[in-house]
Amino acid sequence: MIKISIGSDHAGFELKKIIEALLIKRNIEVIDFGPRDSDSVDYPDFGQMVAQSVVSKESNRGIVICGTGLGMSIVVNRFPGIRGTLCSDVLSAKMSRQHNDSNLLVLAGRMIGSTLANEIVQTWLDTPFEGGRHQRRIDKIENVHKTKQGEK
C-alpha cells in the first residue's frame, strides 16, 4: 500500500484536509504531520517533518501546502533526495512525475481551489516516472549535493 505524508501551515490547513480526504478515499495511507487546526504556525516545521518522512522512507511520497507554496518549496528542497515540485496546474503535475520523478508535491493553499488541487494530486499520484534520459538527469541532480560536500 502506498503511504503519503502530508503537512501544511495555517494557510494550507483547509486544503490539507480536503487532500487528505481524497487520499483516504483512494485507499492511500496518510501520515498527517499537522497542524491540527488553522492557528498560525511556522511552515518550516511541517515541511521538514514531511521531507524527513520521505527521505527516511517512512512514506513513499509527501505533500506539503502553504499559502503560495514558495516557502514550503524552499524548505523541502534543502533535503538531499527530495525532488519537491510546486504545481499549480495538471500539466506541471504530470511533467513533474514523468521527467523529474517528483517525490514531494507542493501546493499553494491561497492560490488554487480544491477542485484543481484534487486534479493535480490525482495526476501526480497516477503518473509514472518515464526513466531513460530523465534518469540520467535525476542522477545529476542527486550528485549536486555530493559534489558540494566534496564527494565524488
Residues that are catalytic: 66, 99
Q: Which helix (H) or strand (E) holds 119?
A: helix 114-126
Neighbours of 30 (CB within 10 A): 16
Q: Which helix (H) or strand (E) holds 94?
A: helix 90-98
Helix (H, G, I), strand (E, B) or coil at 83: coil
DSSP for 8-61, please give it: E-GGGHHHHHHHHHHHHHTT-EEEE---SSSS---HHHHHHHHHHHHHTTSSSE
Q: Which helix (H) or strand (E) holds 105?
A: strand 104-108
